[in-house]
């Protein structure tokens, strides 16, 4: 059943993904993005991107110089340079607008769903009044009945109800929310489909999950992360250095008896400063957050996502993350004198009326192992499990089939434990020692054999851990099981370490230990007892259906309440960091290449000795500068898809990733300008534009 449920979830998410892709395709976004590119020309908006602000100022200056006659520079060339400088700024704005626009359709639908909501707010005297949902504040108590929308994030303080969270998670199956325990949190804009709930609002307007989701996908109010701020400082520093370089070129030219027009110097500055990364930096960050939102994960800050990309240790709960959570049938052991088919038939019949996850897993297992003709459910007389008998099964055609705890099953057929067949007794002891649950199957007063129930490790999880290990990330399994059971499951799952008989204090101590040794730690949790550890961890991911305390302590919230999502978050974080690093490397390598490609062409007439460095043999100084400006603008366009999609992270250690990126984006960044500028130079000369 778990496999079927997961398959249906995957199908639903694929369908939603297709719809999301349709609304975020280039065909749907380019028109509004183009309009926004012009809106973003406002210098007040460009203040967030100092490099592009410099480009815009140079574009303004070049435009003004077009109206000042200069015999050294034809007006047509000056006009072309000015136009391409404006294009450079527009292309950078277009990239940012595209990144923001990818989530705008989803944001609009979320806004539409929350508009006009009302709530039944409890007064001080205990009565209820109808108010606008947007007026609710933290601490207010509201009553939500079947068919009504929950007006805001909060915690259930009374009642139990089924809630449809499809508007937020995309999952159509209703979930149960009740007061107390770890399933008490509710999310605004979700619908109660049965019964009623009394909810204490936990967030003020503008601070809810829905608001954070909208802000993330729109790119609004996005605070720069420390890494982005540091990169901005680097880019500003490089810009100032190249400004000084360009300023000193004029005196050098005059000293040698030559002259460099001001238009050329202004354009040269733009070609040398790191415009590529400066134009794409914001788009990379917004696109990274968009990928996170598509995973249905809400981040309280971009810093958490970047930290996820740098984590060294992952703390993962065993139940529901590494294992399915419900014990599943893994093996059968027949008693002496009983065939495997006979045992399988008896176990299947004893489980047909058992609707528990364990019972269903036995049926699934045996249908594959020993397919038999099953009787119809109405022919069976089900015997439900009870705490007194500790047995369940069916009566069918005068025959009695039961399964249950060892002692209870033996008592049912009046067989003392010491008279149990030795072979079967050893198998039962082995199952118990490994942390599994042994069940005995009996039929018509006869012992048929044993069933091994165990907490089954999810398929593919071992491979994912191996991939993380290649990326230099250690995995630690956290479980309340005894050390023996924990070690067995840890070995099967392939985790690097295990915390058995875990308590909140143990989790907190382990996180502090790892951090004290200089490592970043990520963990996920859903209960109030996880809150201290979530707050202490560098990356804490809470489940949306968990407690309010856990959600407040964490810096990430998974709307699907899937603990394995932490692995995907780490991947997104790494992609974000690697993409930014790769394009920064490419941009700086570009600048180095353009420096050596353009300066010899500009100065060869003044300093003939530079002819040896003029490997590109560009047609003229004005052709060189114009070709460089055109290349500078077009390379931003060429890299927009990569900035939005992100660089895929291969399973390798840091040194291998560095070597790969230096080879592709470092060497590529050096070679591309030589090829591109030469090709543009030939084209411009051929059509008579330079």
The whole-angstrom separation of Cα 460 and Cα 330 is: 17
Torsion angle defined by CA atoms of residues 361, 366, 368 and 373, in that order, rounded to the nearest 10 degrees: -120
d(CA 621, CA 72): 11
Whose tokens are 């050096």? That residue is 670
In the block, which residue shows the tokens 């015997």? 383
Buried b / exposed e along 140-161 (16+ C-beta atoms within 10 A): bbbbbeeebbbbbbbbbeebeb
The catalytic site residues sit at 317
What whole-number distance in Å separates Cα of residue 189 and Cα of residue 112?
A: 10
Q: What's the sign of the alpha-carbon dihedral 153, 158, 164, 170?
A: positive
Q: Is 646:287 a contact under the CB 8 Å cutoff?
A: yes
Tell me, what DSSP letter sits at residue 608? G
Contacts 24+ apart (CB under 8 A), 34-38: 34/94, 34/97, 36/93, 36/94, 36/97, 36/100, 36/101, 37/90, 37/91, 37/93, 37/94, 37/97, 38/90, 38/93
Q: In which residue are the tokens 């989803």 written?
A: 106
Half-sphere exposure of 519 (CA within 13 A, CB side): 17
Determine phi and psi for 373, rounding to 5 degrees: -75, 115
Could you tell me the CA-to-CA distances from 515 to 96, 104, 308, 312, 539 in Å, in that order? 36, 38, 14, 10, 12
Residue 41 burial (10 A CB sphere; 0-12, 13-18, 19+): middle
Residue 544, φ and ψ in degrees, nearest 5: -65, -30
Can you name the residues that pair with 614 across neighbouring β-strands?
none
Cα–Cα distance list, 85 to 42, 274, 476, 486 (Å): 15, 14, 52, 63
| Segments of 416-568 assigned E as strands | 437-443, 446-457, 474-478, 497-499, 521-525, 539-543, 556-558
Rounded Cα distance between 208 and 512, Å, is: 30
380 with 395: CB under 8 angstroms?
yes
């Amino acid at each position: 059943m778990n496999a079927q449920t997961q398959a249906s979830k995957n199908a639903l998410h694929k369908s939603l993904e297709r719809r999301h892709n349709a609304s975020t395709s280039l065909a749907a976004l380019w028109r509004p993005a183009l309009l926004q590119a012009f809106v973003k020309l406002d210098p007040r908006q460009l203040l967030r991107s100092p490099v592009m602000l410099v480009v815009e100022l140079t574009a303004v200056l070049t435009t003004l110089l077009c109206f000042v006659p200069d015999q050294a520079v034809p007006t047509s060339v000056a006009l072309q340079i000015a136009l391409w400088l404006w294009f450079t700024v527009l292309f950078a704005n277009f990239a940012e607008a595209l990144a923001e626009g990818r989530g705008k359709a989803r944001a609009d639908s979320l806004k539409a769903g929350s508009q006009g909501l009302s709530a039944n707010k409890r007064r001080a005297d205990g009565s209820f009044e109808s108010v606008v949902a947007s007026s609710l504040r933290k601490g207010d108590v509201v009553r939500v009945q079947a068919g009504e929308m929950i007006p805001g994030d909060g915690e259930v303080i009374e009642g139990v109800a089924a809630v449809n969270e499809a508007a937020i998670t995309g999952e159509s199956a209703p979930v149960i929310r009740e007061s107390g325990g770890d399933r008490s949190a509710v999310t605004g804009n979700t619908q109660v489909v049965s019964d009623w709930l009394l909810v204490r609002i936990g967030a003020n307007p503008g601070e809810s999950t829905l608001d954070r989701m909208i802000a993330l996908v729109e790119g609004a109010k996005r605070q720069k992360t420390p890494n982005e701020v540091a990169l901005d400082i680097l880019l500003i520093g490089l810009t100032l250095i190249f400004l000084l370089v360009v300023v000193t070129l004029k005196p050098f030219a005059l000293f040698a008896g030559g002259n460099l027009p001001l238009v050329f110097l202004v354009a040269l500055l733009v070609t040398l400063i790191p415009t590529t990364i400066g134009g794409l930096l914001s788009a990379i960050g917004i696109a990274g957050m968009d990928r996170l939102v598509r995973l249905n994960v809400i981040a309280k800050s971009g810093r958490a996502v970047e930290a996820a990309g740098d984590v060294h240790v992952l703390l993962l709960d065993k139940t529901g993350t590494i294992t399915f959570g419900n014990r599943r049938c893994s093996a059968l052991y027949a008693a002496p004198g009983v065939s495997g088919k006979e045992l399988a038939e008896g176990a299947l019949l004893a489980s047909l009326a058992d609707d528990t996850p364990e019972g269903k897993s036995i049926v699934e297992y045996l249908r594959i192992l020993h397919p038999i003709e099953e009787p119809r459910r109405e022919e069976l007389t089900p015997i439900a499990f009870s705490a007194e008998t500790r047995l369940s099964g069916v009566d069918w055609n005068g025959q009695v089939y039961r399964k249950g705890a060892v002692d209870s099953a033996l008592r049912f057929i009046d067989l003392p434990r010491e008279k149990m067949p030795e072979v079967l007794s050893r198998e039962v002891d082995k199952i118990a020692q490994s942390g599994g649950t042994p069940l005995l199957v009996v039929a018509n007063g006869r012992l048929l054999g044993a069933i091994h129930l165990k907490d089954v490790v999810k398929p593919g999880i071992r491979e994912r851990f191996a991939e993380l290990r290649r990326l230099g990330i250690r995995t630690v399994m956290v479980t309340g099981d005894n050390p023996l059971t924990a070690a067995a499951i840890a070995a099967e799952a392939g985790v690097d370490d295990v915390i058995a008989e875990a308590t909140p204090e143990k989790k907190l101590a382990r996180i502090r230990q790892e951090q004290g040794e200089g490592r970043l730690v990520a963990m996920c949790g859903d209960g109030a007892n996880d809150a201290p550890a979530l707050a202490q961890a560098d990356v804490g991911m809470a489940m949306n259906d968990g407690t309010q305390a856990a959600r407040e302590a964490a810096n990430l919230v998974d709307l699907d309440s899937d603990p394995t999502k932490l692995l995907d978050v780490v991947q997104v974080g790494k992609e974000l960091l690697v993409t930014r690093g790769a394009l920064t490397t490419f941009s700086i390598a570009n600048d180095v290449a353009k420096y050596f490609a353009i300066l010899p062409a500009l100065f060869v007439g003044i300093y003939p000795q530079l002819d040896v460095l003029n490997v590109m043999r560009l047609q003229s100084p004005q052709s060189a500068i114009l070709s460089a400006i055109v290349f500078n603008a077009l390379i931003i366009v060429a890299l927009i898809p990569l900035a939005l999609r992100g660089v895929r992270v291969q399973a390798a250690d840091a040194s291998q990733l560095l070597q790969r990126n230096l080879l592709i984006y470092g060497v590529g960044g050096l070679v591309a300008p030589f090829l591109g500028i030469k090709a543009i130079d030939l084209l411009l000369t051929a059509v008579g534009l330079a």
